[in-house]
Structure 1
Amino acid sequence: MAAAVVGCTGKGEAPAPDQPVRDPGEAAIRVDTSQARVGRLEREVTATGITSPWQETNLRAEAGGRVLSVSVDNGDVVEVGDALLKIDGSRQRLAVSGASAQVDALERDVELARSDAERKRALAQKGSLPAAQLEAADNRLERAEAALAGAKANLGSARRSTRDTRITAPIAGIVARRVVDQGDVIGPGTPLLDVVDLSKVRVQVGLAGSEIGRLDQEAEAQARIEDLGGEAVAARFAALAPSADPMTGLFTVEYHVDNADARIRGGMVATVELPLRKAREQVLVPRSSLTRRGGQLAVFVFEGGDESTPGGEAQLDRGVARLVPVRVGAYGDAVVEILGGLEGGERVVTSALHALADGVIVESGDPKAAAPMPLANAPGQTPDPAPAPTP
């Protein structure tokens, strides 16, 4: 059709925007139109995410040695403080003995240094001892006390290493992965096993920025676990990310789901029906009328229409397409909110946008015969986070 227009005009150019179109002639682009109207965008927003455990701990060895026993296996349920495995602690016990002996010896050294310093201080006060000898005695006492403090720290570390040979459950949950076996020789930092708490699960989904203000954080949401046949469970709002994901442009919203029977596992697909506050009345236009020109969203408004030409069974209305920049709000499946640029009642072009420019002559069918524009989404559908305008 664009080629036909070029052939009719001879130059392939649309009239300049500032030139009045009094006689449209025969060169016109056939378009469909719809009337912008004021209404509420009723949306059912759904988003898909992945479940994750309420808590998850990855246990690693803090002390090295041979694994003497493993008390649990994959899938076992454990409580806080339950014994999980035991490591040979003979080396740690020897270290405790050596550190304890050193502390005892240094405590005696401190007592001797303190007695010597006190004796010389008494002599110095009587004038029977030079001040330099008293200062030397005080320095020996300080060094002995510092050495004792270091030895006590070493003793505490050795005793801690001994306790680290017994691995207990830090949380209640299920053993998800056991890495070591009895008889393995491990070093500090070796992975041992993972424990997950599934008493609750977290579900994180992405929400477009245009919907952040309408998200009802107090209302209960519904999460459907797709891997459990679409079973619906109640979900409570927990957190909203302060910034959008740089890769997707979406804001992460976290919901919490009770899971006392542990049927929901980590990594399952969940579809959350996000509760939104009731929308205010705005100008609504079909999504198909949006286009992007010069980096800005816009629509073509059908102007004129005072002349008509035969068009088969219906009369064709002729006019001019005027490019109008707009500011958009929330998106629905079929319509979009216009926050600025239109007032409602305008006829907007919904087809052949790729062939249009500001001031191009267009023709359309009788606007009264046009199909009504839907104002709500079909239930259960997920809207796209951004429009797909004609390039």
Structure 2
Amino acid sequence: MNAHARHRRIDLTAALAGVAATLVLAAGCGNGAAKEAEAKAAAPAAPPVLDIGKENTVRVTLDDIRTGPVISGTLAPKDQATVRAEVGGSVLSVSAEQGQAVRRGQVLARIEARTAGEAVTSAESSVRSQEQALELAKRELARAEKLVSAGAVAERAVEAARNEVVRLESEVAGARSRLLNAREALGDATVTAPISGVVAERPVNAGDVVAPGTALYTIVDPTSIQLEASVPSESLAAVRVGAQVTFQVRGYPDQAFTGRIERVSPTADPTTRQVPIWVTVDNRSGRLVAGLFADGRVTQEERRGLVLPLSVIADPETQPSVLRIRGGKVEKVSVRLGLVDAQNERAEVVEGLADGDVLLTGVAQGVTPGTQVRVTDRSQAAAPAATPASAAPKS
């Protein structure tokens, strides 16, 4: 074997040794990857995280809560006056329109006063005539008394003169009374407002002929409104004079008004078993008007505390509990309730929760305690993503 052949044999041997080393290394690496895959498969899988929409959660808040019987009724003016004609005749003028504000003593209308004026003139003439006759009778009495003292006439002459004076004094008093009545009737022809307020009704116009007693105006005081309502007789224990009433009217759906019970009827309606109550309402703002329907409640008990919707509470009558999110995990929490406002479907929690706790509601109440959850705001997720700066359209 020459030198060239020996060199080729050495190279082949070295190449075979390198291939063998490579195969051994590859086999070792393959065994390590398999072991790692087996280890990962044997490890427990991470629990899945359930996304909860923000609309399926509520937050415990500090708020006012009230209880008490429900009432309903109608707003009515507390102070009102119907102005009627005191004398009959033709309406000469009216000076206040419906809806117009008037002051006490303000002239509202004038009625033809011809008859009343003639009565005053006649009464004045009668008074003057009777007063003159009385003056003459008094002089005659004085003269008769002097004559009796002188023995010129009999005593019966003085007695007759004295009786005439008494009669004429009575006539003068009657004439003066008739004059006073006539002047009052003349004054009644000018109609004035008995109270300050707003004209609610005016059923007559200028030119109408009215009789005594005819309604001319209805005036109401808008600053003082009362709620004429009723309460179920079984809730009468919660109703007392001075108790606060909170109510709403359809014209202001998001506005709550308050008043206080002024009177409570001593009897219940035999048909409905409802007890009438009257609630005084301060209406100096003028926002409320008579005739509006109102519903509300009498405040029996009120306090400030942790409040949540009744809908989030499971078994509120027996073992009340809620589902709370804490540390990204759902947990069942037993709670103790205080005041329960069934009308507004809210309840006070006095034990078990803290201000700001997040609770599950709606379909999320079916989530099993212990589940990992994440609260998401789907409204923001649905919003279109902003265009990247690099992809912004060229101007």
Instruction: Give the TM-score, by structure 2 length.
Output: 0.56
Per the TM alignment, residue 277 of structure 1 is displaced from its structure 2 partner at its CA by: 6.0
Identity %: 30
Per the TM alignment, residue 233 of structure 1 is displaced from its structure 2 partner at its CA by: 0.7
Partner of residue 113 from structure 2, selected from 65, 80, 89 = 89
Cα distance in 1 for partners of 2:260, 2:344 equals 20
Change (3 A) 1:249 1:141: farther
Cα distance in 2 for partners of 1:134, 1:248 equals 79
Match of 2:278 in 1: 254
Kept in 1: contact 2:246–2:298 (CA 8 A): yes
Higher helix share: 2
Per the TM alignment, residue 114 of structure 1 is displaced from its structure 2 partner at its CA by: 1.7
Per the TM alignment, residue 375 of structure 1 is displaced from its structure 2 partner at its CA by: 9.8
Deviations 1:178-204, CA, capped at 9 Å, x for gaps: 212222222222221221211121112
Partner of residue 50 from structure 1, selected from 74, 78, 91 = 74
Match of 1:273 in 2: 297
The 5 A counterparts of 1:19-30 are none
Deviations 1:131-164, CA, capped at 9 Å, x for gaps: 3332222221111111111111111111111111
Cα distance in 2 for partners of 1:276, 1:209 equals 15
- Tell me whether 1:203 sits opposite 2:167 in the alignment: no
Choose 1 or 2 for highest CA Rg: 2
Alpha-carbon RMSD across the aligned residues, in angstroms, is 3.1
SS of residue paired to 1:106: helix
Per the TM alignment, residue 377 of structure 1 is displaced from its structure 2 partner at its CA by: 6.2
Partner of residue 98 from structure 1, selected from 122, 141, 154 = 122
- Tell me whether 1:110 sits opposite 2:74 in the alignment: no
Partner of residue 343 from structure 2, selected from 351, 355, 379 = 379
Deviations 1:246-296, CA, capped at 9 Å, x for gaps: 554433221111222333221211123112269xxxxxxxxxxxxxxxxxx
Change (3 A) 1:118 1:220: same
Cα distance in 2 for partners of 1:257, 1:62 equals 33
Deviations 1:197-219, CA, capped at 9 Å, x for gaps: 11121112223455444435444
**AA in 2 matched with 1:178:** R
- Tell me whether 1:145 sits opposite 2:169 in the alignment: yes
SS of residue paired to 2:162: helix
Change (3 A) 1:173 1:235: same
Cα distance in 1 for partners of 2:257, 2:153 equals 86
SS of residue paired to 1:270: strand
- Tell me whether 1:78 sits opposite 2:42 in the alignment: no
Cα distance in 2 for partners of 1:102, 1:259 equals 53
Deviations 1:346-378, CA, capped at 9 Å, x for gaps: xxxxxxxxxxxxxxxxxxxxxxxxxxxx99661
Change (3 A) 1:122 1:243: farther
Partner of residue 185 from structure 2, selected from 146, 150, 161 = 161
Per the TM alignment, residue 110 of structure 1 is displaced from its structure 2 partner at its CA by: 1.0
Cα distance in 1 for partners of 2:75, 2:298 equals 16
Kept in 2: contact 1:216–1:275 (CA 8 A): no
Per the TM alignment, residue 222 of structure 1 is displaced from its structure 2 partner at its CA by: 0.9
- Tell me whether 1:232 sits opposite 2:196 in the alignment: no
Partner of residue 217 from structure 2, selected from 168, 183, 193 = 193
Kept in 1: contact 2:67–2:339 (CA 8 A): no
**AA in 1 matched with 2:85:** A
- Tell me whether 1:64 sits opposite 2:28 in the alignment: no
SS of residue paired to 1:198: coil
Per the TM alignment, residue 88 of structure 1 is displaced from its structure 2 partner at its CA by: 2.1
Per the TM alignment, residue 123 of structure 1 is displaced from its structure 2 partner at its CA by: 3.7
Per the TM alignment, residue 97 of structure 1 is displaced from its structure 2 partner at its CA by: 1.3
Cα distance in 2 for partners of 1:252, 1:177 equals 27
Kept in 2: contact 1:216–1:276 (CA 8 A): no
**AA in 1 matched with 2:291:** G
Per the TM alignment, residue 100 of structure 1 is displaced from its structure 2 partner at its CA by: 0.6
Deviations 1:227-249, CA, capped at 9 Å, x for gaps: 43263112122122233345544
Kept in 2: contact 1:44–1:379 (CA 8 A): no
Deviations 1:299-352, CA, capped at 9 Å, x for gaps: xxxxxxxxxxxxxxxxxxxxxxxxxxxxxxxxxxxx9xxxxxxxxxxxxxxxxx
Which is worse superposed, 50-59 or 230-239?
Answer: 230-239
Kept in 2: contact 1:62–1:189 (CA 8 A): yes
Cα distance in 2 for partners of 1:209, 1:243 equals 10
Kept in 1: contact 2:116–2:185 (CA 8 A): yes
The 5 A counterparts of 1:363-374 are none
Kept in 2: contact 1:56–1:195 (CA 8 A): yes
**AA in 1 matched with 2:144:** K
Cα distance in 2 for partners of 1:275, 1:104 equals 69
Cα distance in 2 for partners of 1:214, 1:75 equals 39
Change (3 A) 1:263 1:375: closer
Change (3 A) 1:117 1:230: farther
Change (3 A) 1:112 1:380: farther
Structure 2 unaligned segments of length 5 or more: list them.
Answer: 1-65, 303-316, 318-337, 346-395
